[in-house]
Structure 1
C-alpha cells in the first residue's frame, strides 16, 4: 500500500513532509484535505488527527501526525534509500545530542516566532496586529543573529552534516523571506546566507515548494 499523505497542496507543514518523502524516494499519494470546506475539523479527520491540523500520514495502517515526527519516522524507516541520511543513528550519542539540540533550537527559537508571525501576517481573520507582528519579527531576527554565530563555527545547525533540523526551517523561512518580512540573504549574516542558499536550492525542496502533489 502506497503511503498516503493527508494535507494540502499549499500547506507549509505538508510541504515539510513532502520534501522529506521526496528526498528519501518514498512513493506517496497526496490526499487533499479541503481547508476551505473545514474538512480538517470534520469528525472523520479528527478521528486520525485529533487537533485538526495538517498533515498526517497513513503508512500501511500506521497513522502518524505532526510534521516533525512524520519526518523523523520517514528518515529512520527509509534510511537505506539514500546515501546520506538526515538523521543521526541513535547509537551515535554525541551526534544525536547535537541533533536534538538543533531540533529544539528550530522549534523554540525559530518556529515559535516564524509560524506565529506567518499566521498574524497572512492568515489571521480580520488582518494582522501590526505591533505584535513587528515584535515577532524582531524576536526572529534576534534568533537569526544567534544562528550567524552558530553557523560561523559549523556548516549546519547540528554540526557539519545536513540534518532534519535544518530542513524543518524551510516552509516558514521560505514564506517569510519571499514576502520580505525577513532577509535570509543579508550580507550582515554571511553564514546564514550561505546556509539558506544551500537549503533553499535542495532538489527535494524545489520539487515541493510551489505546491505539493503526488509524484508522477
Structure 2
C-alpha cells in the first residue's frame, strides 16, 4: 500500500509530511502541485489541499494533522513519534504547542520574507526579517536551556514536535540567520539531528 501526498516540492508543509513518512517507513508517492501554474487554486485541488490519502480513500489536510495521523496509524513501524504513556504524551503536546507558538510564528514569516518572496519575484524587507529573528532569538535561548537538560523538546525521545521544526529550521539558515547554529543544543538536538539530508531526498 502506497500513500499519495499532494504538494509542492518547495513547500515546507509537504516536506514536513514527507519527513514523517520517511521516519515511519511508510511508502508514498508525491503528486507535485505546480504553484507557478496556480494548480493549487483549481477546484480539484481545493477539494484536497496538501493531503495524505490513505488506501481506503481517507483524505486529510494540514501538515501537522496529517503527521499525527501517520504517526498513530503506523505506530508499530519506524520511529515512534507520539508517546502512548499519558504524561509523556502530555509533554509531547506541550512541545508541539511550543513549536507553533514560539518557533513557527516567527520562522515562517521570516522565511517567507527572504526566500519565498525572492522565488515569487517580490520585494523583500530585510528590516522586517531582522525584527522577526530578533523576536525568535530569546525563544531559542529558552530552547537551548531546555535542551541542555534533555535530548529532545519533549524529553529524551524524538517526537513529531522535533520534526515539525525541520523545514523552517533548514530554510532559516538559507535565509541568512545563524540564530540556531550559534546555540549548540538547538543546532544539535532539535533542528537538524542528522536528518537534514532526508528533508530533501523524497522530492
How high is the TM-score relative to the length of structure 2?
0.91
Correspondence 1:1-216 to 2 at 5 A: 2-49=2-49, 55-60=50-55, 61-82=57-78, 84-89=79-84, 92-124=85-117, 126-186=122-182, 189-196=183-190, 199=193, 201-202=194-195, 205-207=196-198, 209-210=199-200, 212-213=202-203
Q: Larger relative CO (CA 8 A, sep 6+): 1 or 2?
A: 1
Displacement of 1:2 in angstroms is 2.2
- Conservation of the 8 A alpha-carbon contact between 2:24 and 2:77: yes
Moved more, 62-71 or 9-18: 9-18
Indicate the SS of the match to 1:10.
coil
Deviations 1:130-184 (A, max 9, x none): 2221111111112111101111121110011111100100000001123432332
- Aligned CA distance change for structure 1 residues 37 and 16 (closer, same or farther; 3 Å): same
- Aligned CA distance change for structure 1 residues 70 and 172 (closer, same or farther; 3 Å): same
Indicate the SS of the match to 2:35.
coil
- Aligned CA distance change for structure 1 residues 174 and 39 (closer, same or farther; 3 Å): same
Indicate the SS of the match to 2:36.
coil
Unaligned runs of at least 5 residues, structure 2: none
Displacement of 1:196 in angstroms is 4.4
Q: Which runs of 4+ in 1 moved over 6 A?
A: none
Task: Find the aligned partners of 1:133 and 1:146 in 2 and give their Cα distance.
Answer: 21
Task: Find the aligned partners of 2:9 and 2:155 in 1 and give their Cα distance.
Answer: 32
- Conservation of the 8 A alpha-carbon contact between 2:4 and 2:54: yes
Moved more, 175-184 or 130-139: 175-184
Unaligned runs of at least 5 residues, structure 1: 50-54
How high is the TM-score relative to the length of structure 1?
0.86
Displacement of 1:69 in angstroms is 0.8
- Conservation of the 8 A alpha-carbon contact between 1:184 and 1:196: no
Task: Find the aligned partners of 2:7 and 2:201 in 1 and give their Cα distance.
Answer: 11
